[in-house]
Amino acid sequence: MTSVLFLCRANVCRSPMAAALLSSRLARAGVGCRVSSAATMTPGRTADSATVQIMAARGIDVTGHRSRALTAADLTAADLVLAMSRENLRHAVVLEPRAWSHTFTFKELIRRAQADRPRHVAEPVADWLARISRGRERAQLLGGNDADDVADPAGWPLRAYEDTAELLTGLVDDLVGCCWSGISQSPTTSSPSPAGGWSSWRPE
């Protein structure tokens, strides 16, 4: 069974949203997959109240979520690690260098996957990742970049969380289409927000 791990800084907004959305999406399609999430900082926090509200509006209950700290064992056990930012990705591959081959930012993975053919049902996930990773270099993921980073809505108004959830919903559907291409698209799919999204009205 495929194992997918989502990673962000606090594990109270972005990564639990992404994990819940993918779990729900695959469960509706009857696809078995182990989906989890973790943080690069102190564990033990509940999901933000806005995260709970936004997910509840989508019929998903995350009230039982508790953040947990990423471990090297998490990284070696996962078939695919999807970080919410380049910073999160760098944290992961410093913690466990062997994770590089199966650790991507979420946006990077989708960009690479859509530039190639979808994974065949019989193709091992590791082979698919190797195929779409041709030419990938670590230096390409230095610094921060909106092309790879999902903005953190923590501390911002509810609309920021809604925009993040919409973006992640689109990315999850793209992931399903690339990695589990036999599954039809959900009729309730939301389109991803434009690059930058709510961050365009942050105070100067």
Tens of pLDDT, residues 182-198:
764 444 433 333 333 43
Q: What single letter denotes the amino acid at residue 202?
A: R
List the beta strands (DSSP E) in the chain: 2-8, 33-39, 80-83, 103-105
Whether residue 34 contacts residue 104, with contact meaning beta carbons closer than 8 Å, is answered with no
Residue 165 lies inside a defined structural domain of this protein: yes
* pLDDT for position 183: 62
Cβ neighbour number for residue 79 with a 10 Å cutoff:
18
- What value does the mean pLDDT of the chain take? 89
Q: Is residue 188 part of a domain?
A: yes
Cβ(83)–Cβ(108) under 8 Å? no
130 lies in a domain? yes
The CATH number covering residue 121 comes to 3.40.50.2300
Domain of residue 133: give its range. 2-198
pLDDT in the model for residue 140 = 86
Number of helices (H), then strands (E), in the chain: 7, 4
Distance CA 140, CA 146 (A): 13
* pLDDT-based confidence at residue 199 (cuts at 50, 70, 90): very low
Which of 98-112, 114-128, 154-168, 173-187 is least confident? 173-187
Residue 203 has pLDDT above 50, yes or no: no
3 backbone dihedrals φ, ψ, rounded to 5°: -120, 125
Number of structural domains found in the chain:
1
Residue 200 predicted with pLDDT over 70: no
Q: How far apart are CA 166 and CA 172, in angstroms?
A: 10
What percent of the chain is modeled with pLDDT above 70?
Answer: 89
Residue 152 lies in a domain: yes
Q: Is residue 203 part of a domain?
A: no
What pLDDT shows up at residue 181? 83
Q: What is the structure's pLDDT at 108?
A: 97
Element (H, E) at 95: helix 86-95
In a domain, 204, yes or no: no
- What per-residue string of b and e applies to 133-155 under the rule 16 or more CB within 10 Å gives b? beeeeeeebeeeeeebbbbbbbe
Instruction: Strand 80-83: give its sheet, edge to edge.
Output: 33-39, 2-8, 80-83, 103-105
Residue 137 lies in a domain: yes
